[in-house]
Amino acid sequence: VTVAQVDAQGRLRHFLTLEGLPRTVLVRLLDLAQNFDDRRGDLSLRSTLAGKTVCTLFFEPSTRTRSSFQIAAQQLGADVLNFDASTSSTSKGETARDTMKNLEAMGVHGFVVRHREDGAVAALAGEARPGTALVNAGDGRIAHPTQGLLDMLTLRQAKGSDFSQLKVAIVGDVKHSRVARTDLHALRTLGAGEIRVCGPKSLLPDDATTLAGCTVTEDFDAALEGVDAVMMLRLQRERMEEGLVGSLADYHGAYGLTARRLQRAAPDAVVLHPGPMNRGVEIDDDVADGPQSLILRQVANGVAARMAVLEVLLGA
């Protein structure tokens, strides 16, 4: 990170990563997100960010993150500018930095940025003027902090706020997943009892730091045994072209979450997936749409979590 996201007084200036974010700040954001979830439809919230302008600046595709940031900002009364990179002057070669600086000059107060390059959002935050806030909506393989926040909110609602006895399995393409890295930081910060990381060797991270404190296995059945929560990851299909996994059928056979396999987890285990899902590959329909799935609750919590971040960064 090239710029501090928390200032000397402990205030959040940008929201770039959950790595190193103090537990007090993370818990405060979760409490605030829960409050926004409880106050769904409360029109009095619309004065919270009145007069502020939020720009969603996405250089990669998105359905959930971008739309929920737009809804979150609107519910807090902010004006929202949805920047479409494909029809912008970035197609003429304008840099992300110049794009941001121009929009900042127009009066944008907060940028929600997604970029394919590791560290790109932190670098842009370093270029912003004081008072302009940046939110990382996903950069490269590194971080997707609001996804981590909504995932922790979803787990907290299902299992309570004491994670000390919680057993969680994170399964699939961990190596290339910014969601996995982010959730690992959050689970460690919140003191999760046991974190299991599972996937084929070719899709597991090779650095010890990412996997610190985790039990690592290639055996999905073993990883599922008795867990309270299963966090499935999207198989990034381009990895097949790179030869990192075999056929889709082979992958499903070894790492697809089926209803039968889910029986190995605790009877009240919950299933999460950040989306978009490859149905029939990493997760079966009857699990994704079944009674243990919290996948649409995650999506709903995305609005509340993003309201919390915007309120903390841009509120009075």
By CB under 6 A, name the binding residues for ligand CP.
62-65, 138, 147, 274-276
Determine the Cα–Cα distance for residues 288 and 295; give it in Å rounded to an integer: 7
Measured from the CB atom, is 18 or 48 closer to ligand CP?
18
Rounded to the nearest whole angstrom, what is the least distance from the CB of residue 234 to ligand CP in the complex?
Answer: 8
Residue 40's nearest CA partner among 304, 240, 280 is 304
For ligand CP, which is the closer residue by CB, 182 or 292? 182
For the bound state, the minimum distance from the C-beta of residue 121 to ligand CP, rounded and expressed in Å, comes to 14
**CB closer to ligand CP, 65 vs 278:** 65
Q: Whose CA is closest to 155, among 258, 294, 28?
A: 294
Question: Which residue's CB is nearer to ligand CP, number 62 or number 210?
Answer: 62
Of 138, 242, 127, which is closest to residue 182 (Cα–Cα)?
138
Q: Are 55 and 107 in contact (CB under 8 A)?
A: no
Sequence-distant (≥ 6) Cβ neighbours of residue 219 within 8 angstroms = 198
Q: How far is the CB of 275 from ligand CP (least distance, A)?
A: 5
Q: Tokens in use for 6?
A: 């928390």
φ/ψ of 260, rounded to 5, equals -65, -45
In the complex, least distance from residue 71 CB atom to ligand CP, rounded to whole angstroms: 13
Closer CB to ligand CP, 200 or 274, in the complex = 274
Least distance in Å: CB of 62 to ligand CP? 3
Task: Tell me the closest approach of the beta carbon of residue 8 to ligand CP, in angstroms.
Answer: 32
187 within 8 A of 163, measured Cβ to Cβ: yes
SS3 186: helix
Q: Which of 139, 206, 218 is nearest to 179 (CA)?
A: 139
